[in-house]
C-alpha cells in the first residue's frame, strides 16, 4: 500500500521522466494543477501553469540531447523536496544568446506542494548564473 508521500514523489518522478527526459509536454496539464502557483517565478514570467509551460518550452527549444536526474527526493506531508541536475547541448537561442553548441549543466533544488496528484505550488532555486557562464 503506497503512502501519500510516495504518491507525491511519483508525481515528481513523472514530471522528471516524461517532461524533462522524454519531452512530452502533453502531460503538463496533468502534472501541474490548473491553479498552480510558482512562488519563485523568474522576473517577467507568469507565476502560473502557463508560465511553467513557457519555461519548459523555452528549454526544449534551446537545448537538445537533454537529461534530467533527480539526485535526492524527500517527501513530508504534502511537500516534495528534490535536488536535480539538468544537462543539455545549447543548440537553439536561449535568453538572447545564439546557439553555442556547448554542453551545459544546471543544478537546483525544488520544493513542490502536491494535492490531488498534481503540483499546486512551487519554490525553486537553480544556478542560472552558473549556467549562463557556461554559455558565455
**For the chain, which domains are there?**
4-135 (3.10.450.50)
Q: How far is it, in rounded angstroms, from Cα 136 to Cα 131?
A: 9
What residues pair up with 23 in beta bridges, in sequence order?
none
Residue 14 pLDDT = 98
Q: What is the pLDDT of residue 42?
A: 86
The residue assigned the cell 527526493 is 73
Contact 37, 120 (CB under 8 A): yes
Task: Report residue 31's pLDDT band, with 50, 70 and 90 as the boundaries.
Answer: very high
125 has a pLDDT exceeding 80 = yes
Which pLDDT score is estimated for 103? 98
Would you place residue 127 in the very low, low, confident or very high pLDDT band (cuts 50, 70, 90)?
Answer: very high
Whether the CB-CB separation of 120 and 114 falls below 8 Å is answered with yes
* pLDDT at residue 43 in the model: 86
Express each pLDDT in 108-123 by its tens digit.
999 999 999 999 999 9
Dihedral sign from CA coordinates of 135, 53, 83, 108 = positive
Give, rounded to a whole angstrom, the gap between the first and last alpha carbons of the chain.
Answer: 49
**What is the share, in percent, of the chain residues with pLDDT greater than 90?**
96
93-120: string of b/e by CB count within 10 Å (b at 16+)?
ebeeeeeeeeebebbeebbbbbeeebbb
pLDDT over 80 (residue 1): no
Give the separation between CA 99 and CA 92, rounded to whole angstroms: 5
Look at residue 2 in the predicted model and tell me its pLDDT.
85
- Dig out the grid coordinates for 106 from the structure: 544546471
Q: Does the pLDDT at position 52 exceed 80?
A: yes
Distance of CA 69 to the CA centre of its chain: 11
Provide the pLDDT confidence category of residue 36 given band limits of 50, 70 and 90.
very high
Amino acid at each position: 500500500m503506497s503512502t501519500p508521500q510516495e504518491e507525491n514523489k511519483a508525481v515528481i518522478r513523472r514530471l522528471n521522466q516524461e517532461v524533462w527526459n522524454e519531452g512530452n509536454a502533453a502531460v503538463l496539464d496533468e502534472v501541474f494543477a490548473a491553479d498552480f502557483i510558482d512562488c519563485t517565478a523568474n522576473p517577467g514570467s507568469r507565476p502560473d501553469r502557463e508560465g511553467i509551460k513557457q519555461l519548459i518550452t523555452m528549454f526544449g527549444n534551446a537545448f537538445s540531447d537533454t537529461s534530467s536526474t533527480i539526485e535526492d527526493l524527500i517527501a513530508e506531508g504534502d511537500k516534495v523536496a528534490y535536488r536535480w541536475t539538468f544537462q543539455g547541448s545549447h543548440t537553439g537561442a536561449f535568453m538572447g544568446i545564439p546557439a553555442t553548441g556547448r554542453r551545459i549543466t544546471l543544478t537546483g533544488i525544488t520544493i513542490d506542494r502536491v494535492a490531488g496528484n498534481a503540483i499546486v505550488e512551487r519554490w525553486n532555486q537553480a544556478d542560472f548564473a552558473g549556467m549562463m557562464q557556461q554559455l558565455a
